[in-house]
């Protein structure tokens, strides 16, 4: 038996999770409660501001309509034109005021008219000298301020003076006909126009802007607050939080430069009552108890498979049972898994050579001359059908495609072998037995002895390989053999055809019956002539090579009168030369022809002029490809890997990432880096980081922790350790020595 440490830890872990989740749930509930409370308060405040501002806007609109109506009266014009105080004009103005004031009085307003502070003010209550009128309004304390405002001839359109019961708003207006200013004194009862009370005792109601305030109500300390800039929100209420205050704002529809403000303290979390605390504790306890119960039963249920595994392992442990009694479950399971894995690895080593692999190895031995005890081995490896021979084909794959460029030779072999196996699987029958000689050559051993049937299969296989992997393909077919012992002879025959494949018109599928290129008298191009051109590539005499092709094509296509058969054969001879030239630098003819398909379309013509021009351009491109490789513009895989490291050492780079990027194994990448740099992958990356760090530190512009981050070391202590390992001193000491 074992200690149930795993069961206990599982139960404890999930119990803590249940407790934390329950607490989070309760906290979320409380937060939602206060969020709802804040939303309700904001809604009430918005409704208050909208209702109050609309009410005041309506009153002001009626008032301004009345003032505009009054300013057009003849009595106002006469009053302004008189230099002295003429009581006759006062009477006319008084009558106009009284006759039109009824609706204004209902709204809580009273209006007085004056043109300066030294004369009289005409109001519905009579004619008053300026000082007497202010005293009449019980605003005697504000007299000096009012006189100061008017005597300074302020350009402000609106001025507001608040009183205890009444307030006064002074509107300055310039009459166009006389270009003289007139002042309207709007007197209103605070209790009628302004709100009786605010929803919040600590709130503040203001009508004005950042520069001036017309109306304001609120505690004195709140009135000193600065106002935010009002926003034109198309008559809607908006809000803005400043410090611990929330400002609700609505732009006035009557005075666009003014805004209604209502400011209240931000909603705060208040202390919970005892009843609320009791309810929360009860709910939290219920959740925890229920969760712990669920966790207990689910942990026991989930532990049952582990218990069964332990029991099965324990039943097979015959030794050291007493030592295992105090062992942890996971340690015990891991120990047994390691033991099972070790046994599996031994089995995998025993069976690493499958039947297919052994068949391939056997046929390879036969191809290279091992012919002892063939009948017994054929029977043992289930190859008796091949006893009576068949047809041997060598598949040659020249050049390396873009897909294979970053692969190791082993991986290229694996990829190409898989393509052949895919074809076999698609045919649902084993048409041939493939044997890999190396990644460039495969032997395909067919039971079929009819060359035409074999050629049909090879044609389908050729199309698949060209589709999956753009490399140059050649199949050379040996004559059928009557006995498997003749396999070495067939191999040598197919190999000899491969060596002279460019002597044939068609170089994809070649047999002894394939038509050869003849040296006709009506065109001048032999294998020796081709060799002269290839030598110019090997010796890097590229200009001479281009000149040779220009002369060759002009001599044959223009000067000679070739018939259609000679023209076609000469085309094939030049195409074979192109293939050989590309193979010289391990380039794929298929990819090359696809890259220049417009030029290759031209050579389908049999017109001598078109063919001459097309082949000159094609050979020019070929020479450029060869020149690029010879001059090293195509980087090798090790060079590309090192270049990648130098460009990406600052990031999160690993052998796995590099192997994935270049389609290589980690061990192969590690070996390539070691050979290319003379040190290990990790040391090379650290050396790059330190070199860059020295460059940055020597400028004196960056701190050590900043440089650490810039070179890809997120932990500054790790950076200091690496730097000290390479330079023998800390980054700080290096900076001081610079």
| 166/550 Cα distance (integer angstroms) | 110
pLDDT digits (tens, 9 = 90+) for 174-230: 777 777 888 888 887 776 677 777 887 778 888 888 777 777 787 766 666 678 877
All residues at 6 or more sequence positions from 554 whose CB lies less than 8 Å from its CB, including other chains = 612
Confidence of residue 480 (pLDDT cuts 50, 70, 90): very high
| 711/690 Cα distance (integer angstroms) | 8
pLDDT digits (tens, 9 = 90+) for 575-621: 888 888 887 777 778 778 888 888 888 888 888 888 889 999 999 99
| 70/76 Cα distance (integer angstroms) | 7
Cα-based angle 129, 132, 133 (whole degrees, multiple of 5): 85
pLDDT above 70 as % of the chain: 80
Q: Which of 25, 258, 306, 57 is nearest to 159 (CA)?
A: 258
Stretch 451-480: mean pLDDT, rounded? 83
pLDDT digits (tens, 9 = 90+) for 107-150: 677 888 888 777 788 888 888 888 888 888 887 887 887 877 77
Q: pLDDT at residue 104 above 70?
A: no
| 715/719 Cα distance (integer angstroms) | 6
Treating both helix axes as pointing N-terminal to C-terminal, what angle do 355-367 and 487-499 enclose, rounded to 10 degrees? Answer: 70
**Tokens, residue 596:** 């220049």
**Which residues make beta-bridge pairs with 393?**
444, 477
Domain 72-193 has CATH 3.30.450: yes
CB 306 within 8 A of CB 22: no
Q: Which carries the bigger pLDDT value, residue 514 or residue 100?
A: 514
pLDDT digits (tens, 9 = 90+) for 144-155: 878 777 776 555
Lowest mean pLDDT among 80-89, 475-484, 554-563, 568-577: 80-89
pLDDT at 319: 45
> 3-state DSSP call for residue 400?
coil
C-beta atoms surrounding 2 within 10 Å: 19
296-300, 655-659, 720-724: which is most confident:
720-724
| 112/188 Cα distance (integer angstroms) | 11
Q: Which carries the bigger pLDDT value, residue 162 or residue 582?
A: 582
All residues at 6 or more sequence positions from 596 whose CB lies less than 8 Å from its CB, including other chains = 618, 621
Confidence of residue 22 (pLDDT cuts 50, 70, 90): confident
C-beta atoms surrounding 216 within 10 Å: 17
Eight-state DSSP code of residue 128: E
| 243/422 Cα distance (integer angstroms) | 72
CA quadruple 371, 376, 381, 384: dihedral sign = positive
CB 171 within 8 A of CB 67: yes
Q: Which of 484, 466, 288 is nearest to 385 (CA)?
A: 484
pLDDT digits (tens, 9 = 90+) for 637-677: 788 888 888 888 887 788 888 887 777 778 888 888 988 88
pLDDT at 354: 67
Q: pLDDT at residue 160 above 50?
A: yes
Q: Which carries the bigger pLDDT value, residue 678 or residue 343?
A: 678
85-94, 248-257, 380-389, 681-690: which is most confident:
681-690
Stretch 492-515: mean pLDDT, rounded? 81
Q: pLDDT at residue 351 above 50?
A: no
CATH class of 355-506: alpha beta
Lowest mean pLDDT among 26-30, 367-371, 519-523, 646-650: 519-523
CATH superfamily, domain 637-737, is: Homeodomain-like (1.10.10.60)
Q: pLDDT at residue 232 above 80?
A: no
307-321, 398-412, 507-521: which is most confident:
507-521
DSSP H helical segments within 388-450, as ranges? 409-426
Eight-state DSSP code of residue 227: P
- Mean pLDDT value across the chain: 78
Q: pLDDT at residue 353 above 60?
A: no
pLDDT digits (tens, 9 = 90+) for 202-214: 788 888 887 777 7
pLDDT at 57: 84
pLDDT at 392: 92
């Amino acid at each position: 038996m074992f200690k149930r440490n795993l069961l206990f830890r599982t139960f404890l872990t999930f119990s803590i999770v249940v407790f934390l989740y329950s607490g989070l749930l309760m906290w979320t509930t409380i937060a939602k409660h206060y969020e709802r409370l804040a939303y309700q308060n904001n809604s009430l405040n918005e409704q208050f501001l909208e209702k109050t501002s609309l009410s005041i806007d309506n009153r002001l609109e009626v008032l301004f309509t009345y003032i505009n109506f009054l300013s057009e009266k003849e009595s106002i014009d006469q009053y302004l034109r008189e230099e002295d105080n003429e009581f006759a004009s006062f009477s006319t103005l008084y009558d106009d005021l009284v006759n039109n004031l009824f609706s204004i009085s209902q709204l809580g307003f009273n209006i007085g008219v004056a043109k300066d502070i030294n004369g009289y003010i005409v109001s519905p209550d009579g004619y008053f000298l300026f000082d007497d009128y202010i005293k009449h309004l019980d605003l005697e304390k504000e007299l000096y301020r009012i006189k100061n405002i008017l005597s300074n001839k302020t350009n402000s359109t609106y001025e507001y003076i608040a009183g205890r019961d009444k307030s006064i708003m002074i509107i300055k207006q310039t009459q166009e006909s006389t270009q003289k200013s007139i002042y309207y004194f709007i007197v209103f009862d605070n209790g009628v126009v302004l709100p009786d009370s605010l929803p919040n005792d600590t709130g503040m109601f203001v009508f004005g802007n950042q520069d001036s305030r017309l109306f304001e109500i609120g505690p004195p300390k709140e009135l000193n607050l600065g106002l935010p800039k009002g926003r034109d929100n198309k008559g809607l209420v908006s809000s803005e939080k400043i410090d611990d205050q929330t400002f609700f704002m609505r732009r006035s529809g009557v005075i666009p430069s003014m805004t209604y403000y209502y400011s209240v303290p931000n909603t705060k979390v208040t202390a919970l009552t005892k009843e609320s605390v009791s309810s929360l504790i009860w709910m939290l306890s219920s959740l925890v108890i229920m969760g712990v119960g669920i966790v207990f039963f689910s942990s026991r249920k989930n532990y049952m498979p582990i218990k069964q595994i332990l029991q099965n392992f324990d039943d097979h442990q015959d030794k050291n049972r007493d030592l295992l009694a105090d062992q942890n479950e996971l340690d015990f399971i891991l120990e047994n898994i390691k033991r099972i894995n070790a046994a599996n690895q031994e089995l995998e080593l025993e069976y690493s050579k499958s039947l297919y692999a052994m068949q391939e190895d056997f046929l390879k031995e036969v191809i290279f001359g091992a012919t002892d005890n063939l009948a017994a081995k054929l029977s043992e490896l289930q190859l008796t059908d091949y006893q009576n021979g068949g047809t041997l084909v060598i598949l040659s794959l020249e050049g390396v495609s873009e897909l294979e460029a970053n692969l190791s030779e082993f991986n290229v072999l694996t990829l190409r072998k898989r393509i052949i196996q895919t074809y076999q699987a698609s045919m649902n029958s084993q048409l041939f037995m493939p044997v890999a000689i190396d990644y460039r050559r495969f032997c395909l051993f067919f039971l079929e002895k009819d060359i035409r049937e074999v050629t049909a299969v090879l044609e389908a296989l050729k199309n698949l390989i060209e589709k999956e992997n753009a490399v140059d393909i050649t199949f050379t077919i040996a004559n059928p053999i009557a006995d498997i012992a003749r396999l070495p002879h067939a191999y040598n025959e197919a190999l000899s055809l491969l060596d002279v494949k460019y002597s044939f018109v068609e170089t994809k599928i070649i047999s002894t019956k394939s038509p050869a290129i003849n040296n006709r008298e009506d065109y001048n191009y032999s294998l020796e002539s081709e060799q002269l051109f290839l030598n110019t590539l090997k010796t890097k005499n590229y200009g001479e090579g281009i000149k040779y092709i220009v002369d060759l094509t002009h001599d044959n296509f223009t000067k000679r009168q070739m018939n259609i058969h000679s023209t076609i054969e000469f085309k094939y001879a030049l195409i074979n030369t192109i293939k050989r030239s590309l193979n010289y630098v391990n380039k794929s003819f298929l990819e090359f022809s696809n890259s220049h398909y417009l030029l290759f379309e031209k050579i389908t013509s049999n017109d001598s002029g078109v063919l001459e021009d097309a082949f000159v351009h094609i050979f020019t491109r070929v020479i450029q490809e060869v020149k690029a490789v010879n001059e090293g513009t195509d980087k090798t895989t090790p060079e590309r890997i090192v270049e990648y490291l130098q460009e990406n050492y600052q990031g999160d780079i690993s052998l796995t990432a590099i192997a994935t990027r270049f389609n290589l194994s980690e061990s192969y990448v590690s070996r390539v880096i070691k050979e290319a740099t003379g040190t290990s992958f990790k040391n090379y990356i650290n050396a790059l980081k330190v070199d860059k760090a020295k460059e940055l530190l020597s400028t004196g512009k960056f701190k050590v922790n900043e440089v650490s981050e810039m070179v890809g070391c997120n932990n500054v202590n790790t950076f200091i350790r690496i730097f000290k390992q390479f330079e023998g001193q800390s980054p700080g000491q290096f900076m001081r020595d610079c």
